């Protein structure tokens, strides 16, 4: 059901995930709707602002209206100053573009830390001619829909996550040096079911998930793949097909996301900002 005011038009993008808000820059930058946006972010996982066309500076200012601006490593973040981060496969724009190839597989950002980022905000600056959509799935809704016996069986399981596991998806035969460098990032053990302080629960899965503690490798892999397949069924997903100037926010604590393949020479360019995490996995 759509609610319409002069500059604030809200509608569902898909049944269990995603809200589209048609508004104007001034409304967004004023911060007047920040609490509505925060509520929708938690309730719906993803918010789309079609062709809102924020500049880098406006995106930074908008990010500040929603929470604490998170600085990203790399070229984008100059001496701790607020900056947008370029998501591209073009190494002349982002010298560590190859690390971003893990983004082509379902993931949650920040599984190497105990308190992952709250949200990402991404704007389309240049599109691929083909592909390059972004998929999102709602990990609250997919947990809620599990049969009760499955919920009981997984309630207390812990999963080891490692960044190198996600890198192996795009580079299955790295050199020893590459593997060693990835492995230097260590590992992190996280609950399979995140019991949020709100009382809601979500699944913690994705390409960094290496092994379920206490299960042998075959049983562990079967469980992780079965749950990922469950969580990414169409009824829990929204696929965003980008237009230039679109901006999308996703709640990183209740969704997974992935980019769909595109030509790495296409010039596709997204600008991303992030909000600092506010709740540890637990």
Q: Which residues bind ligand SIN (CB under 6 A)?
A: 87, 103, 120, 134, 257, 259, 270
Handedness of CA 40, 46, 49, 55 (dihedral sign): positive
Tell me the closest approach of the beta carbon of residue 259 to ligand SIN, in angstroms: 3
Rounded to the nearest whole angstrom, what is the least distance from the CB of residue 82 to ligand SIN in the complex?
A: 18
CA neighbor of 108 nearest in space, from 207, 249, 181, 198: 207
Nearest residue (CB) to ligand SIN, 17 versus 270? 270
The tokens of 44 are what? 């719906």
Least separation in angstroms between CB 132 and ligand SIN: 7
Phi, psi (rounded to 5 degrees) for 91 = -70, -15
Nearer to ligand SIN, 8 or 104 (CB): 104
Rg (CA), the chain: 19
Residues in CB range of 6: below 8 A, 6 or more apart: none
Closest distance to ligand SIN from the beta carbon of 137 (Å): 13
Q: Which is nearer to ligand SIN, 136 or 212 (CB)?
A: 136
In the block, tokens 């597989």 appear at: 105
Cβ distance to ligand SIN smaller for residue 67 or 132: 132
**Closer residue to ligand SIN (CB): 35 or 241:** 241
User: What are the CA-CA distances from residue 199 to residues 48, 113, 143, 282 (Å)?
Assistant: 26, 22, 13, 11
Nearest distance from residue 244's CB to ligand SIN, in Å?
A: 14
């Amino acid at each position: 059901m759509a609610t319409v005011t002069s500059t604030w038009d809200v509608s569902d993008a898909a049944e269990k995930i995603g809200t589209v808000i048609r508004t104007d820059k001034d409304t967004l930058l004023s911060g007047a709707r920040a609490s509505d946006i925060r509520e929708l972010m938690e309730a719906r996982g993803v918010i789309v602002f079609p062709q809102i066309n924020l500049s880098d500076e406006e995106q930074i200012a908008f990010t500040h209206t929603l929470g604490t601006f998170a600085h990203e490593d790399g070229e984008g973040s100059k001496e701790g100053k607020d900056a947008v981060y370029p998501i591209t496969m073009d190494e002349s724009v982002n010298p560590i573009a190859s690390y971003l190839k893990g983004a082509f597989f379902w993931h949650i950002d920040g599984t190497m830390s105990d308190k992952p980022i709250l949200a990402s905000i991404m704007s389309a600056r240049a599109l691929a001619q083909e592909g390059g959509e972004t998929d999102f799935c709602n990990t609250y809704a997919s947990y809620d829909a599990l049969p009760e016996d499955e919920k009981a069986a997984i309630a207390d399981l812990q999963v080891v996550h490692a960044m190198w596991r996600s890198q192996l998806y795009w580079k299955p035969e790295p050199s020893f040096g590459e593997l060693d460098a990835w492995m230097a990032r260590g590992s992190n053990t996280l609950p399979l079911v995140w019991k949020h302080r709100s009382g809601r629960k979500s699944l913690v899965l994705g390409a960094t998930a290496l092994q379920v503690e206490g299960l042998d490798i075959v049983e562990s892999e079967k469980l992780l793949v079965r749950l990922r397949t469950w969580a990414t069924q169409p009824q829990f997903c929204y696929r965003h097909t980008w237009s230039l100037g679109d901006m999308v926010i996703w709640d990183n604590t209740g969704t997974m996301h992935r980019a769909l393949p595109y030509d790495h020479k296409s010039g596709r360019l997204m600008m991303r900002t992030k909000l600092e995490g506010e709740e540890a996995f637990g």
